[in-house]
Amino acid sequence: MAIIARRAWRICALAFVTIILVLWRTRSYAPPAQALSTAPTRYTEPLAALPSTPRVPSACFLFITRTISLTKVRRTMFDIEQRFNARFHYPYVFLSELEFSAEFQLKVRSIASSNVTFALITHNWATSSNSTHINGNSNALGFRNMVRYWAHPFATHSALSTYTRVWRLEPGSHFPCDFATDPFRRMHNHKLQYAFAISLASPAPTIWFHALDFLRHSSHLLGASNSMAWLSPSSNNSTVCQFLTNSELVDLRFIRSPAYTALFERMDQKLTLSHNQWSKDDDVAVRSLAVALFLDASQVAWLDDLAYTHDLLSNCPADPELQKRCHGDPSESSHLLPMSCSARWTTAPRSLHINPLDLL
């Protein structure tokens, strides 16, 4: 009897846990209630909203990641394929300082509708000051090296030598809506150099003040119609607007340009000489500074019709037609937050152009 009672208790316990998991997953992944009445079941219809145009040459998706992120990578690729790339077949490039496992390569290729390239980062991954572990933490070291690498050196990798435009994909990011346009085509047709999904205001990082020092000696590199007024909304430079790089489209010719390279090298030198390390969001700061300093505002675009979520941040279009093919919630879009800078990009374009030297 005791054995039967124990077995019955285990069965009841297992059933209880199963019910809890089902309820939790249903709550976590169910679309918002307001979307259920208008949006058709996901993926049951062709991507009718997206016009049939040929893909842009020399464009690719880019991941800088490791084997350990396989599940997150596949989740993001699934969204991209189903929402967009199954029609265009843009290739993928994967970079890592560690070898990708055979399982990683097999499972990534199984979900891609296009060519996939896996390449090892063997050059310019770390400076001499970053060559040792940080307090014995190799993960912290790898993260700092990745921040530095994404700030500029990635653009010189041989695996990207045949590409001029890349779209960075962050493992675990989510695209909840069908694409209304081809972002690569938009960049090509409008001669854009940079496009972003989310931008936020934050306290000015140390690297910002290094950049102001750089301007004192390199004012000849400044764009004639720069966007520094957007980048620095506060009069005392205590707060700056920044483009988040976890979902960005960028023209590699801009990253490889002499002006951008000079800015990066100066920032890299300053951090090395001051015995500081590249830290979280320094790649964001460098990219934002370079875009605002060197590009004309007309060469930059906010992808306001792109539905994108990562962690607690999102960009979600409110257009009723787009919402028919979407399960995102426009009321939760980050551009509605007080610290967002995205809406300012489109609502105050004429106030973008000032002389950056006035900020010194």
How far is the C-alpha of 112 from the C-alpha of 350, rounded, in Å? 42
The reported pLDDT for the residue numbered 196 is 95
**Residue 39 pLDDT greater than 70, yes or no:** no
3-state secondary structure of 264: helix
**Residue 43 pLDDT greater than 90, yes or no:** no
pLDDT digits (tens, 9 = 90+) for 82-96: 999 999 999 999 999
Average pLDDT score over residue span 12-30: 37
**Residue 46 pLDDT greater than 70, yes or no:** no
Helix axes 102-111, 70-80, angle to 10 degrees: 10
Residues 6+ apart with CB under 8 A from 284: 242, 243, 244, 245
Q: Name the more confident of 68 and 233.
A: 68
**Residue 30 pLDDT greater than 70, yes or no:** no
Neighbours of 321 (CB within 10 A): 10
Q: Is 311 left (phi over 0), alpha (psi -120 to 50) or beta?
A: left
Identify any residues that bridge with 177 across adjacent strands, giving them in sequence order: 326
Residues 6+ apart with CB under 8 A from 349: 297
At residue 64, what is the residue type? I
- Which residue, chain included where needed, has tokens 């990635």? 154
**Residue 273 pLDDT greater than 70, yes or no:** no
Instruction: Encode 305-350 in three state secondary structure.
Output: CCCEEECCEEECCCCHHHHCCECCCHHHCHHHCCCECHHHHHHCHH
pLDDT digits (tens, 9 = 90+) for 297-309: 899 999 988 899 9
Q: Which of 36-45, 112-121, 169-178, 197-206 has the lowest mean pLDDT?
A: 36-45
C-alpha distances in Å from residue 211, one per residue of 208, 254, 312, 360: 5, 18, 29, 10
The reported pLDDT for the residue numbered 115 is 97
Contact yes or no for 73/63 (Cβ under 8 A): yes
Structure tokens at 211: 């950049």
**Residue 34 pLDDT greater than 80, yes or no:** no
The reported pLDDT for the residue numbered 325 is 85
How far is the C-alpha of 134 from the C-alpha of 113, rounded, in Å? 40
Helix axes 206-217, 282-294, angle to 10 degrees: 30
Whole-number percent of the chain with pLDDT over 90: 43
Identify any residues that bridge with 309 across adjacent strands, giving them in sequence order: 174, 314
How far is the C-alpha of 228 from the C-alpha of 243, rounded, in Å? 13
* Nearest in space to 281 (alpha carbons), one of 204, 354, 356, 227: 204
Residues 6+ apart with CB under 8 A from 317: 177, 180, 304, 305, 306, 307, 323, 326, 328, 330, 333
pTM, full prediction: 0.81
Identify any residues that bridge with 93 across adjacent strands, giving them in sequence order: 62, 117
DSSP 174: B
Contact yes or no for 121/191 (Cβ under 8 A): no
The reported pLDDT for the residue numbered 18 is 40
Mean pLDDT, the chain, integer: 80
**Residue 147 pLDDT greater than 70, yes or no:** yes
**Residue 183 pLDDT greater than 70, yes or no:** yes
The reported pLDDT for the residue numbered 212 is 78
At residue 348, what is the residue type? A
**Residue 3 pLDDT greater than 70, yes or no:** no
Helix (H) or strand (E) holding 201: strand 199-203
